[in-house]
Structure 1
Amino acid sequence: MPHDDALVITLTVANHAVHRVLIDNGSSADIIYWTVVQQLGIGQEKLKPFLSLLTGFAAYNMIIGHPALNHLREVTSTYHLKVKFPTIEGVGEVKGDQVVARRCYHTSLKKCPKSALLMIGSLGDERKLQLRKELAKPLIDVPIAEGKVVKIGSQLTPKVREALVRFLQQNLKVFAWSPEDMPRIDPKDIVHHLNINLEVKPVKQK
């Protein structure tokens, strides 16, 4: 302490110890890599297709989001790096591994490999290709105010496009169109923090 490390634990899944499991209260998904599923011997017939693209999870074997946390009635504390949950014998507790958490953090800073693009569920190559083509469709320029243009997907239906444009027009104030639209933010509201070792001497580079 003090620290800003993520809550990373080891879980027993299908009678195997799975390391580098991220407890993420802000995630709306529970994620496990396909290679991990294969190593655990979990049959493909137990998987249900879920058509979605996710990126940037290369550092972990699993991510436990709020669906699983709610189902297990878990209470997390990132400050104490602990997870507590009810059991038939009382309150269970899992402690986070601070060393592994920092390793995962440094791994996530490296260039994300192609394998980090995840297709959740059991999808054939033809369906994967179709989804990639849908996501690769070009954007179109749409004016939402005088001199203010945004880009939206060209594949949207007229009804969805109209609703989206109307929503953007109603929320013009959230856009920063120029540096003048970005005044100084009080650090009491929000501040960007670099998680670095304060004992390391800064090095000036060319």
Structure 2
Amino acid sequence: MEFQPTLSFFDDDKAGTFQPHDDALVVTFRIGEYNVKKVLVDQGSGAEIMYPDLYKGLKLKPKDLVSYDSPLVGFDGKTVIPKGQIRLPIQAGSVVVEVDFIMMDAYSFYTAIMARSWLHAMMAVSSTLHLKVKYPSGDQVEELIGSQALAKQCLVAAIRHQSEGESLATREKSL
């Protein structure tokens, strides 16, 4: 009989967070020898997405990508054609899983988005209230802890980017 650790969240799991909050679950994990910050864990997303900062930071080249030509819709509602797809090993704690990232050549305040397929591959459960991802590792439960500071940085960047875009649109209309 195999032991399966229980993945659950308690009030103690909120320790270290400022409550109440509505922050996104933004984490750091490893890809190869790099600690990758500003990664959004989004249960609502169906695809793992990589943005240009991560692509360049990992020193990836166009030849590393395989074709992926299905258009995706971004947070801003615009349709974007991906540059390609790449499979990379992602390490969270002691667990490593292979992830198929879709490379988007679009602005984002996140470096990547981890979606349901990554959570399922990790056999993980995430909680935005507790700002944690819990997953089994052998007979133990490991956790990936989100950063409220990084979540707030991403939110501020998004607001600035949106207001800059609106300012540009207003200027273009007046020309």
Shift of 1:111: 3.0
Q: Which residue in 1 is equivalent to 2:124? A: 74
> Does the 8 Å contact 2:43/2:115 carry over to 1?
yes
Q: What corresponds to 1:195 in structure 2?
A: none
- 2:159 counterpart residue number: 109
Q: Which amino acid aligns with 1:59?
A: F
Q: Is the 8 A contact 2:27 2:147 kept in 1?
A: yes
SS at match of 1:108: helix
The aligned residue for residue 80 of structure 2 is: none
* Cα shift at 1:48: 2.5
> Unaligned 5+ residue runs, structure 2?
1-18, 76-106, 166-175
User: Counterpart in 2 of 1:61?
Assistant: 111
Given residue 114 of structure 2, which amino acid in structure 1 is its aligned partner? I
Of 90, 98, 121, the residue aligned with 2:148 is 98
| Structure 1 residue 43 displacement after superposition | 5.5
In structure 2, the residue matched to 1:39 is: 57
Alignment match of 2:45 (pick from 23, 27, 30): 27
Aligned-pair Cα RMSD in Å: 2.2
Measured against aligned partners, the alpha-carbon deviations of 1:77-133 in whole angstroms (never above 9, x if no partner) come to 11100001112362110111001101111211233589xxxxxxxxxxxxxxxxxxx
Number of equivalences: 114
The residue type paired with residue 6 of structure 1 is A
Structure label with greater radius of gyration: 1
Structure 2 counterpart of 1:17: 35
> Is the CA contact 2:47–2:114 (under 8 Å) kept in the aligned structure 1?
yes
Q: Residue 108 and residue 93 in structure 1: after superposition, are their counterparts in 2 closer, same or farther (change >3 A)? A: same
Task: Verify the 8 A CA contact 2:45 2:116 in the aligned structure 1.
Answer: yes
Do 2:52 and 2:111's aligned partners in 1 also have CA atoms closer than 8 Å? no
SS in 2 for 1:111: helix
Q: In 1, distance between residues paired with 2:62 and 2:121?
A: 23
In structure 1, stretches of 5+ residues that fail to align are 115-206
Write out per-residue CA displacement over residues 27-85 of structure 1, whole angstroms, 9 at most, x where no aligned residue. 11101113412322345454322222443461100100112111111110111000011
- Report the AA paired with residue 70 of structure 1: H
C-alpha contact 1:85 1:92 (8 A) present in aligned 2: yes
Sort the Cα spacing of 1:111 and 1:35 in 2 relative to 1 into closer, same or farther, 3 A: closer
Q: Which has the higher contact order (CA 8 A, sep 6+)?
A: 2
Equivalence for 1:48: 66
CA contact (8 A) 1:14 1:42 kept: no
Structure 2 contact 25–132 (Cα < 8 Å) conserved: yes
Q: How does 1:1-206 map to 2 (within 5 A)?
A: 1-42=19-60, 44-51=62-69, 52-56=71-75, 58-88=108-138, 90-112=140-162
